[in-house]
Amino acid sequence: MAAPAVATDSSEWTVPGTGIRLDRPAVLGVLNLTPDSFSDGGKYADAVEALEKAEEMVRDGADLIDVGGESTRPGARGVDAAEEWRRVGPVVERLALQGIPVSVDTMKAEVARRAVDFGAAVLNDVSGLRHDPDLADVAAEAGSGLILMHMRGTPRTMQSDVDYDDLVGQVRDGLRRSMEIARERGCSAGQIVVDPGIGFGKSAVGNLELIAGIGRLLELGRPVLVGPSRKSFIGALLDVPVEERLEGTIAACLSALERGARLFRVHDVRAVRRALDVAWAIQSSGTRQST
């Protein structure tokens, strides 16, 4: 299938049926349905509790609920597609039936296909199509949004090699290759969002460098998503445990916003949403005055 012409407007993202727009910052609420995620593992394993949490995040201002059934914390072991779907399937279906836009965080085409069949609007692949390139076929056929993240290695091995000659440049080039795979499989450029993968095969200092260098990632012509929420680099900087990293998360999101990021994947939706809205209003006011 020939790919459509390349879209170069990084303020637009095509997600059919969701009404998601990037004329203000977009927030993805994290909903981990795993027993071993680094921050909230096991907390929402029950479907009823998971749905209640999702509804709370929507009330707090989430534009999209990002549902995951396989932990990608450093050192995590994978699960098979059947187990991953057992965890996420009922929640994806019920959220979609309620009209809540759903993203499914998966590296597997089999899980992705079932997710879009049950109403998921977005596929979020932390491997950037390296694990299972067939996932791009699913996105192309469904017309779903596609988030492509940069990760060196796998969750189990990614923190064993965090040295780069040019971190931001190498991340940008890796994301470009992921985009090329998606396009070769029939996805339009307008479906794609790129994520530099904060905390995925990067050092604490490297994560800071990535946020500072977001402007170089905009050269890809696609919206940039960041996911600094509660990450270990914040803990290292502030010497605080995971439950005390909200202020650091907000600071990272606001710094990324200033540099051009437009999507933010976070656990603490209400606080980040409010902070982003104020920062965006100030930023937009400055733009109006300059014109």
Residue 17 lies in a domain: no
CATH of the domain at 127: 3.20.20.20
pLDDT tens-digit profile of 44-79?
567 888 999 999 999 999 999 999 999 877 766 778
Residue 189 lies in a domain: yes
Query: From CA 196, how far away is CA 223, in angstroms rounded?
Result: 11
Residue 177 lies in a domain: yes
Structure tokens at 50: 């998971």
Say what the pLDDT of residue 41 is: 46
Residue 7 lies in a domain: no
Say what the pLDDT of residue 4 is: 38
Residue 97 lies in a domain: yes
What's the average model confidence in pLDDT over 207-212?
Answer: 97
> The tokens 């050192």 sit on which residue?
75
Q: 144, 123 in Cβ contact below 8 A?
A: yes
CA dihedral 223, 229, 234, 240 (to 10 degrees): 170
State the CB neighbour count (10 A cutoff) for residue 41. 16
CA dihedral 263, 268, 157, 106 (to 10 degrees): -60
State the CB neighbour count (10 A cutoff) for residue 83. 13
pLDDT tens-digit profile of 121-173?
999 999 999 999 999 999 999 999 999 999 987 666 656 678 899 999 999 99
Kindly tell me if the per-residue pLDDT of 223 is higher than 60: yes
What's the average model confidence in pLDDT over 206-235?
Answer: 97
Pairing between strand 263-266 and 225-226? Answer: parallel
Query: From CA 151, how far away is CA 228, in angstroms rounded?
Result: 14
Structure pTM?
0.90
Percent of the chain with pLDDT over 90: 76
- Specify the higher pLDDT residue, 4 or 101: 101
Q: How confident is the model at residue 2 (pLDDT cuts 50, 70, 90)?
A: very low
What is the crossing angle of helices 204-212 and 246-258, to 10°?
40
204 Cβ contact list (under 8 Å, min separation 6): 232, 233, 236, 237
Q: What are the Cα distances from residue 34, in Å, to 73, 76, 241? A: 11, 11, 20
Q: How confident is the model at residue 103 (pLDDT cuts 50, 70, 90)?
A: very high
Mean pLDDT taken over the chain: 89
Query: Is the dihedral angle over the CA atoms 84, 86, 87, 92 positive or is it negative?
Result: positive
Q: How confident is the model at residue 230 (pLDDT cuts 50, 70, 90)?
A: very high
Count the domains in the chain: 1
| Enclosing domain of residue 210 | 26-290
Query: From CA 169, how far away is CA 149, in angstroms rounded?
Result: 14
Q: How confident is the model at residue 88 (pLDDT cuts 50, 70, 90)?
A: very high
Say what the pLDDT of residue 284 is: 93
The catalytic residue positions are 231, 265
Residue 8 lies in a domain: no
Q: How confident is the model at residue 38 (pLDDT cuts 50, 70, 90)?
A: very low
H/E element, 253: helix 246-258
Say what the pLDDT of residue 283 is: 94
Residue 153 lies in a domain: yes
Residue 6 lies in a domain: no
Say what the pLDDT of residue 16 is: 78
